[in-house]
């Protein structure tokens, strides 16, 4: 009788709709949950998705023994924001991490899958790339439910497989002999893989959540020549990086096989659900005239030739579609395929339903457990719409209608994916009522971002320098391990600029009272982020995106002053290195009480081609938000760059 009452109470707490997946939580040890996330693995790149190039026998086994979701979408089109959506169950209009700078933190109070499961008595471990808060921030994993996290906290740190150290619970784990770059005695993925397997072995007699956001196959495209996967591809007639990439995917597949073997050894296979996915849409890596979508065709169907538009970093379908499989012996029928429309915010409520846990009230996701189990008596709820935003992009999908705005200054586009999966025919003019409805929903979905904070950035910056083995230097001088990085201030540049530039400018609002609300683009690949324009350091800079798809003008920065102010003018400081790319020429400023609606420009001006601060006075105006719009620049490349932007007022 006592057991029966416990079952009834458990069913009541999780809802009758999910009872088929939660009975084990009431009668036995709750199921273990493993989530493996491959960094940058493209939609069509695993063999189970039809790819002819790359061998993935263990992923193929997962797919054959479980379910493939054909319409699973990432939370965002780049690394850090997508992880935040996954961990918090929120879409990117509500998350705290919406930029991809590398260390932007979760807020202290935010719940994650791990903190939710901790309350259920789960052991929680994470192994790989975190991306939701650098050391000494409110976003570190050990403050968000993880008993242990080993790997990289900052994404820049993760751009080498030979770092001098990894991070475990904010402390350094030395990898003796490594010095960053592309070579060293210790390959970090092996260390991370070993730690994940050790965690599973240590906690197999209690319920556990093992999160493996593994870094491969993200570049640098490095794999030891001694790895057995390299032998499969080393003689292929592809560029070397394409061969290395394929070997990294097959190596990752082998690590998945090691997880499966361990579960069987420990006799917990039937009580463990495994999810596997990419983290964002594919990049057109290793493209050529003969292979315009890349050697491995991550966004091109190898059977039909149909392509998904866009790549990682965009909000077209190709920037968001990810391969996704789930396996749970005895619960998920083998060999199934689902067309259900889902995305990363759905994973938190799904895992809550599987484990008999209560999900936080502020999530945007919907549990996909009914679809996983294929229970005919339990209909799968559907989203009214799916929403994304990143770096000035906005996208929304409702059933087969999809609206995209690539830039706040560009018109919305509308596509009917049932007839046009490649998003090649814009129907905005032909279907204005549908577009108006979707744009209205998108506006409702957006809330101003509220990021977490750092107590200190000293160790965070140290980790970023570790990519190059420069972690013990006072500051990073170069962005590249070898040679002078064009446009980056050298030590000589810095000394010269610091001797002649006094910043912050006298009478300007303090930089720490302002924050970036939106940037039409930023060049994340080399750290030229929007936040650099108001960080108080003349030797960093914001630059419009030029890596991958070049962003075109006008280029916008929208700044929140923190409260309503009387604005009396602006100060522009151009880049302080020896370069002129992006040095602004014609600009305008607008102000508003709202971050998403600006009237006519308050002031327009033509700047001088100068490294000195330039004053732009304006009529005294009360406002909270400022928009800088860069129209033209002196180098003729249609870029924009700002070292510092000051606001005069009170």
Tens-place pLDDT, residues 514-549: 889 888 988 876 788 999 999 888 888 999 988 777
pLDDT of residue 537: 84
- Residues 163 and 208 occupy one common structural domain: yes
Confidence of residue 197 (pLDDT cuts 50, 70, 90): very high
Q: Quick one: pLDDT band at residue 499, thresholds 50, 70, 90?
A: very low
pLDDT in tens, 395-447: 999 999 999 999 888 999 999 999 999 999 999 999 999 999 999 999 999 99
| Whether pLDDT at 394 is above 50 | yes
Query: Does residue 140 fall inside a structural domain?
Result: yes
Domains: count for the chain: 3
Decide if pLDDT at 37 tops 70. Answer: yes
Please report whether residue 360 resides in a domain. yes
pLDDT-based confidence at residue 308 (cuts at 50, 70, 90):
very high
> How does pLDDT run across 106-150, given as a tens digit for each residue?
999 999 999 999 999 999 999 999 999 999 999 999 999 999 999
Residue 476 lies in a domain: no
Q: Is there a single domain that holds both residue 116 and residue 237?
A: yes
Say if residues 299 and 284 touch (Cβ distance below 8 Å).
yes
Per-residue buried b or exposed e for 420-449, using 16+ beta carbons within 10 Å of the residue's own CB: ebbbeebbbeebeebbebbbeebeebbeeb
Q: 564 and 427 in one domain?
A: no
Q: What is the CATH number of the domain that holds 434?
A: 3.30.1120.10
Q: Please determine, for residue 611, whether its predicted confidence score (pLDDT) is greater than 70.
A: yes
Instruction: Summarize the confidence of residues 473-485 as an average pLDDT.
Output: 40
Q: Does some domain include residue 512?
A: yes
Residues 25 and 73 occupy one common structural domain = yes
At 52, is the secondary structure helix, strand, or coil? Answer: coil
Do 177 and 285 reside in the same domain of the chain?
yes
Q: Are 66 and 325 in contact (CB under 8 A)?
A: yes
Q: Could you tell me if residue 106 is inside a domain?
A: yes
Q: Is the peptide bond before 538 cis (omega within 30 degrees of 0)?
A: no
Residues 421 and 375 in one domain: no
Q: List the structure tokens of 159.
A: 């751009």
Token output for 419: 């007839």
456 within domain boundaries: no
Give residue 491's pLDDT: 43
Q: pTM surpassing 0.85? A: no
505 has a pLDDT exceeding 90: no
Q: Which of 485, 457, 461, 483 is nearest to 472 (CA)?
A: 461
List the structure tokens of 214.
């593994």
Query: Are residues 262 and 410 both part of a single domain?
Result: no
Domain of residue 406: give its range. Answer: 392-445
pLDDT band for 242, please (50, 70, 90 cuts).
Answer: very high
Residue 306 structure tokens: 């149909």
One domain, residues 399 and 317: no
Q: Residue 151: give its domain's CATH number.
A: 3.40.720.10
User: Are 173 and 139 in a shared domain?
Assistant: yes
| pLDDT at 598 > cutoff 90 | no
Burial class (CB in 10 A: 0-12, 13-18, 19+), 597: exposed
Residue 489 pLDDT > 50, yes or no? no
């Amino acid at each position: 009788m006592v057991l029966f009452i416990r079952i009834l109470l458990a069913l009541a707490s999780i809802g009758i709709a999910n009872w088929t997946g939660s009975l084990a939580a009431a009668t036995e040890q709750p199921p273990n949950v493993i989530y493996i996330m491959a960094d940058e693995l493209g939609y069509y790149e695993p063999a189970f998705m039809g790819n002819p190039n790359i061998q993935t026998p263990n992923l193929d086994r997962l797919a054959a023994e479980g379910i493939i979701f054909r319409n699973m979408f990432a939370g965002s089109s780049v690394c850090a924001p997508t992880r935040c959506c996954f961990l918090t169950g929120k879409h990117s209009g509500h998350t705290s991490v919406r930029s991809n700078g590398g260390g932007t933190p979760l807020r202290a109070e935010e719940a994650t899958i791990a903190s939710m499961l901790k309350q259920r008595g789960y052991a929680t471990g994470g192994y790989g790339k975190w991306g939701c808060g650098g050391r000494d921030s409110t976003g570190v994993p050990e403050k968000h439910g993880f008993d242990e996290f080993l790997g990289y906290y900052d994404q820049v740190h993760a751009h080498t497989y030979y770092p001098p150290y990894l991070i475990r619970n904010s402390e350094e784990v030395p990898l003796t002999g490594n010095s960053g770059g592309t070579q060293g005695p210790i390959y970090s993925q092996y260390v991370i893989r070993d730690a994940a397997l050790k965690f599973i072995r240590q906690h197999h007699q209690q319920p556990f959540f093992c999160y493996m956001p593994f870094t491969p196959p993200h570049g640098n495209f490095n794999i030891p020549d001694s790895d057995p996967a390299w032998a499969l591809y080393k003689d292929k007639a592809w560029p070397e990086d394409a061969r290395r990439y394929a070997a990294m995917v097959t190596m990752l597949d082998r690590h998945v096989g090691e997880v499966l073997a361990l579960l069987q050894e420990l006799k917990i296979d039937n009580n463990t659900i495994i999810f596997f996915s990419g983290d964002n849409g594919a990049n057109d890596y290793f493209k050529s005239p003969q292979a315009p979508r890349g050697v491995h065709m991550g966004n091109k169907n190898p059977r039909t030739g149909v392509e998904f538009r866009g790549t990682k970093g965009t909000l077209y379908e190709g920037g968001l579609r990810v391969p996704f499989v789930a396996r749970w012996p005895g619960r998920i029928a083998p060999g199934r395929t689902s067309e259900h429309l889902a995305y990363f915010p759905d994973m938190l409520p799904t895992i809550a339903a599987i484990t008999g846990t209560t999900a936080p009230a502020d999530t945007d996701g919907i549990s996909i457990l009914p679809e996983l189990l294929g229970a005919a008596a339990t209909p799968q709820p559907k989203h009214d719409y799916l929403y994304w935003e990143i770096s000035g992009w906005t996208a929304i999908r409702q059933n087969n209608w999809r609206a995209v705005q690539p830039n706040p200054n560009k018109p919305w586009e509308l596509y009917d994916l049932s007839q046009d999966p490649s998003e090649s025919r814009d129907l905005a003019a032909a279907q204005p009522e549908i577009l108006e409805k979707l744009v209205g929903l998108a506006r409702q979905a957006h809330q101003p971002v509220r990021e977490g904070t750092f107590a200190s950035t000293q160790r965070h910056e140290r980790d970023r320098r570790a990519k190059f083995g420069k972690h013990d230097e006072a500051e990073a001088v170069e962005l590249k391990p070898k040679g002078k990085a064009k446009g980056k201030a050298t030590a000589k540049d810095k000394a010269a600029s610091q001797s002649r530039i006094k910043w912050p400018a006298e009478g300007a609002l303090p930089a720490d009272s302002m924050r970036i609300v939106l940037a039409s683009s930023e060049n994340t690949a080399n750290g030229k982020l929007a936040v650099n324009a108001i960080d108080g350091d003349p030797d960093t800079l914001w630059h419009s995106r030029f890596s991958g798809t070049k962003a075109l003008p006008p280029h916008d920065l929208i700044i929140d002053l923190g409260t309503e102010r009387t604005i009396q003018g602006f100060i522009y400081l151009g880049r302080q290195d020896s370069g002129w790319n992006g040095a602004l020429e014609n600009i305008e400023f607008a102000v508003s009480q709202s971050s998403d609606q600006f009237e006519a420009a308050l002031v327009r001006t033509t700047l001088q081609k100068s490294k000195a601060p330039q004053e732009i006075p304006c009529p005294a105006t009360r406002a909270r938000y400022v928009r800088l719009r860069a129209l033209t620049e002196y180098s003729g490349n249609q870029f924009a760059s700002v070292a510092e932007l000051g606001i005069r007022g009170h």
